[in-house]
Amino acid sequence: MARSRPSVPLAAIDDPALPEVLAELAAARADEVLCLNVQDLYPQDKRGKITAKGGATEWIHWQSGTAQLLPHLIPRRTHGPLFLTDRKAPARTPTLDVCPATGRARLSYRRAEEIFEENTRLLANPLASPDDIEDLDGWTLHRLRHSALTHDAEGGNSTPMLLARSRHASVRSLERYARPGVDAVARHMASCDPAARRRHR
Query: Is the pLDDT score of 138 beyond 50?
Result: yes
**Burial call 108-122: b when 16+ CB within 10 Å, e when fewer:** eeebbbebbbebbbe
Q: Kindly list the domain boundaries of the chain, sorted by start residue.
A: 10-123+135-188
Closest by CA position to 46, among listed 62, 35, 34, 57? 62
Q: Would you state the pLDDT for residue 14?
A: 33
Mean pLDDT (the chain) is 78
Phi, psi of 60 (to 5 degrees): -115, 130
Write down the pLDDT at residue 156: 76
| Res 157: pLDDT | 75
Q: What is the pLDDT of residue 17?
A: 55
pLDDT at residue 80 in the model: 94
The pLDDT assigned to 20 comes to 62
pLDDT higher for 86 or 37?
A: 37
Of 1-10, 124-133, 154-163, 187-196, which gets the smallest average pLDDT?
1-10
Cα within 13 Å of Cα(118), Cβ side: 8
Instruction: Say how far apart CA 28 and CA 146 lie, in whole Å.
Output: 10
CA distances from 137 to 31, 115, 116, 151 (A): 21, 12, 11, 22
Q: What is the pTM of this model?
A: 0.67
What tens digit of pLDDT does each residue of 26-40 get? 567 788 888 899 999
Which range among 57-61, 81-85, 152-156, 195-199 shows the weakest confidence by mean pLDDT? 195-199
Classify domain 10-123+135-188 at the CATH topology level: hpI Integrase; Chain A (1.10.443)
For residues 124 and 100, the answer to whether their CB atoms sit within 8 Å is: no
Main-chain dihedrals φ then ψ at residue 125, nearest 5 degrees: -135, 70
